[in-house]
Each structure stands twice: as structure tokens, then as C-alpha cells.
A and B are shown apart, each in its own frame.
Chain A
Amino acid sequence: MTDLFSKFDALIAERKALLDTGVRDPFAIVMDKVTSPTEAVIQGRRTILLGTYNYMGMTFDPDVIAAGKKALDEYGSGTTGSRVLNGTYQGHKECEEALKEFYGTDHAMVFSTGYQANLGMISTIAGKGDYIILDADSHASIYDGCWLGNAEIVRFRHNSVEDLEKRLARLPADAGKLVVLEGVYSMLGDIAPLKEMVAVAKKYGAMVLVDEAHGMGFFGENGRGVFEEAGVADDVDFVVGTFSKSVGTVGGFCVSNHPKFDVLRLVCRPYVFTASLPPSVVATAATSIRKLMHAADKRAHLWKNSKRLHQGLRDLGFTLGTENAQSAIIAVMLPDMETTVRMWQALLELGLYVNMARPPATPAGTFLLRCSLCAEHSDDQVGEILGMFEQAGKAVGCIA
């Protein structure tokens, strides 16, 4: 019998070799307690969280928690059903209403995760004979949406408007086309030149889908995302997003003004063939989304934190993924796996949690530590974070 697991042997060996050097497993952290959006207890130590995507710090908001508890009491622990059968409660509709108001769109559809929202949208609207044109550094959920469907897939070089245009120009003029972009790319924290890209996509008659997973909450006047800040809302056909970042719970969505949008509820398999979100989750999401409409002060503090950490890390001598603070993600670039894991562990032992990222999740074979800031990080915490980076960086030898 051929062991189907033999294909994983190289990965198992690499992981064993790494752990045998005595480092902790960066992919097996357990949060024993979570005391706030910015702090947890890991192996008995108070730890500042700098790798959670909890950008707006809504996870412990008293109104959000109260709404979840009320829904749990009134509607029970789960729906045990698909959105199209017994799984649509009043709370799911209220959550979609909150999204429509937040985005100012005619339609909103809530999926069970952000991953499924991309999977469902992309695989359903681009069919056989259509073309999907995507950025080479797209998130796994976008690639998986391509594989699930039957469209032809064309890639362009990351964030290159010229490369996108060249490829669009080579496609049959009358073919259906979907250009898939992300507002913020989550590995380096860089943003897409959406104004130019959306203009090029429209010039060639393509529909445009923008994933705002890492932009919702704090880009643009209403916090809708990078597309709002770029002033291209009228030319973006579909915005996909998630509840698991700024919104502070779990779930995904797509909003649109397409007049036939609601037909997707019948034909989109990752929407139909899975259970809907529990009532408590949609209640927390709806409450959080409504509060995010009026969160200008939090937004301002988040941007202040991001700019201060970016400048501070640069001043310490770290190499960062972007020239300036473009989003709430700051990537600290490191030369190899060993240095990255040592640095990650040194920070953890000092009481700071960041994400470790490595190929193939990262672009161009890079190793990095990804920091994501929260609007609830205090000025004192950002100071502490910089102090820990200095201490760990010197101990590991990444900075002088």
C-alpha cells in the first residue's frame, strides 16, 4: 500500500529539524487567557498581542458582547442549517442590513467565513470561457476560488498596472472578465494602486472584485476600505470582506449594487452547502459594524500607532516590507528561517506575540515577522513593543 502521507515527508523532516534545535513551534501557540484585544497570557506570561488582525479592537467592546449574549439567550447556540433552508434568522438579515448601510450598497450577502466569501464569489461569477485576472500575490482564498471554478486564470505581476493592462489587452474583447484585487496585501502590508488598476480594468470591459479584508474599518472617509480612499467606489462591482479582522468575530461577506446580485443565494455553492453563522456571531457582527461607522477617533489612533511603530522599527535599523506605513500591517524582513524563528522566540519570551511567515505564504521566498496593530494599543504599549524589538534584535544579532 502506498502511504498517501509520504508526500509530506520533506515538510515533516524540515519541521522536526527546526524543533530539534530547541525553538518553540511558531505554529502551535496556545493562548491560555485573553484579557483584552491587545493582551493575552501565553505559558503563564503576560503577552502583548501584535499579530491578531484585531485592527479596531472590537472583540471586547461591551455593546458587541451584550448583543452576542442576548442573541445566544434568545435564539440558541446555532442554526444547524444552510442560509437557503432553515439557517437564515432575523439576525442574519439585520447583519446584511448593517453591511448595506456601512457600504452604501443595494445588496449584501453574509457567508460563514471570509475564505468562503472569496471561494464562492470567484468560482460562481466567473464560469467556463470567462477569464479571471488576478495579482500574483493574491491570498490563498482567491487562488482557491479560481481552482474551484472553471474560468481561465491569468496572473499579473504584483501591483503592476502596466502588467495588468498588457494582459487585459491580449484577452478576447468580448470574453467575460473578472479582475480580482486586494486593497491591502497582508504579507507586506502594502496597498494596491486601485485608482489606476480599476481604471485599466474598466477600459477593457472587466468587472472588478476588491477584497478589503485588511482595509475595512480604517481606510476612507467611512472606513469602507482602500477602494473608498482611492475614490473608485462607483467602478468596483463587488467588495468582499471578513468579520474576523476589524469587525472582531468570524464570517465573510460580499456587497454589491449589481441588480441580479441576489441570484447568488441560489447558485453559489460555498454559500448554499454549509451551515450559516450562529445567531450570537451575526449579532456581534452587526453591532460591531454599526459602531465602526462612527469610529473616527479609533481610526486616527490606529494610524498613529502604525506610523509610530514603522518609524521606530526603522530607526532601530530593521528592514521593513514597505517604505512607509501604508496600512496597519508592518512586516519586519529577515534573512532566513533560522534568524526569523530565533527573533520570533526572543520576542515571545520578552512578552510580545507577532506572526511568523515563510514561503510559500510570503512573496518572493522571503521570511518575515508580521506585526498588525490595534486601535486599542496604548501609547505605552507601543513604547514597550519598540523596547522589546530593540532587546530581541540585539540579542539575535539582526540589528547593531
Chain B
Amino acid sequence: MSERDEIFTKVAEQVEPFNKKGITLTDSTTFAGDLEWDSLTVMDFVAAIEDEFDILITMNMQAEIETVGQLVDAVAKLKA
């Protein structure tokens, strides 16, 4: 498993508790559109991701992240 795949798997695990509709996750799944998350769900999810990877995703960065794939790439970059 590549490092990116490992991050994807961990991100998917964190999405699960908030994935009310049971959407199948791909790189192009969007948080606002496909998962239908509101700003409060995003806040909880971001905090969970930050704690899982021991990183910080600033609100400035969050504004640029719309899909699961973009988040996985951002996490990979922040961990590097």
C-alpha cells in the first residue's frame, strides 16, 4: 500500500461516523455536495483529522479543500 493509500484509508475511517448516507468514497467525493455536510460537521471532522494525523489544517487551507482527494493530498503534504 502506498503512503497515499494509507492516508486515504485513515481519512475514510474518520469520514465514516459522519457518512450518514453511506456514500462510497472516492478521490472526487465532495464534502459539501456528496456528503451534504454543514459547517458544524466540517468543524468536528477537521478536528478529528487534525488529531488523527497530529497536524493543523488552518481555516485558510480548509477553504481550498472541497474533495476527499484534495484532503488526502493536503494531509500528505502537511505530514511531510
Q: Would A152 and B60 count as touching, CB distance under 8 A?
A: yes
The tally of residues in A whose CB lies under 8 Å from a CB in B reads 17
Q: Would A153 and B58 count as touching, CB distance under 8 A?
A: yes
Cβ of A154 < 8 Å from any Cβ of B? yes
Within 8 A of B (CB), among A78-101: none
Cβ of A365 < 8 Å from any Cβ of B? yes
The stretch of B8-16, B20-28, B49-57, B66-74 in contact with A is: B49-57
Within 8 A of A (CB), among B17-68: 38-40, 43, 46-47, 50-51, 54-56, 58-60
Cβ of A360 < 8 Å from any Cβ of B? yes
Q: Would A146 and B47 count as touching, CB distance under 8 A?
A: no
Q: Would A171 and B43 count as touching, CB distance under 8 A?
A: no
Smallest CB separation, A142 vs chain B (Å): 12
The stretch of A22-30, A162-170, A271-279, A370-378 in contact with B is: A162-170
Neighbouring A residues of B59 by C-beta, 8 Å: 146, 153-155
Given the known inter-chain contacts A136-B43, A163-B47, A365-B40, please indicate yes or no for A170 contacting B54, CB distance below 8 A.
Answer: yes
Cβ of A12 < 8 Å from any Cβ of B? no
Q: Would A167 and B58 count as touching, CB distance under 8 A?
A: no
Q: Would A166 and B51 count as touching, CB distance under 8 A?
A: yes
Cβ of A157 < 8 Å from any Cβ of B? yes
| Band of interface residues on B | 10 to 19
Majority secondary structure, A binding face: mixed
Q: Would A153 and B60 count as touching, CB distance under 8 A?
A: yes
Cβ of A1 < 8 Å from any Cβ of B? no
Q: Would B47 and A157 count as touching, CB distance under 8 A?
A: yes
Q: Would A167 and B40 count as touching, CB distance under 8 A?
A: no
Smallest CB separation, A278 vs chain B (Å): 37
- Which of B40, B46, B50, B51 has a CB less than 8 Å from the CB of A364? B40
Neighbouring B residues of A155 by C-beta, 8 Å: 43, 46-47, 59
Q: Would A167 and B60 count as touching, CB distance under 8 A?
A: no
A364 to B50, CA, bound (A): 20
Neighbouring B residues of A163 by C-beta, 8 Å: 47
Within 8 A of B (CB), among A158-203: 163, 166-167, 170-171
- Which of A131, A157, A360 has a CB less than 8 Å from the CB of B39? A360
A146 to B62, CA, bound (A): 14
Smallest CB separation, B34 vs chain A (Å): 19
A131 nearest CB neighbor, chain B only? B58
A363 nearest CB neighbor, chain B only? B40
* Selected A-B contacts with CB under 8 Å, 18 pairs: A146-B59, A153-B58, A153-B59, A153-B60, A154-B56, A154-B59, A155-B43, A155-B46, A155-B47, A163-B47, A166-B50, A167-B50, A170-B54, A170-B56, A171-B56, A360-B39, A365-B38, A365-B40
- Chain A residues with CB under 8 Å of chain B are 131, 136, 146, 152-157, 163, 166-167, 170-171, 360, 364-365
- Chain B residues with CB under 8 Å of chain A are 38-40, 43, 46-47, 50-51, 54-56, 58-60
The 8 closest A-B CB pairs, nearest first, are: A153-B59, A152-B58, A170-B56, A154-B58, A153-B58, A136-B43, A152-B60, A154-B56
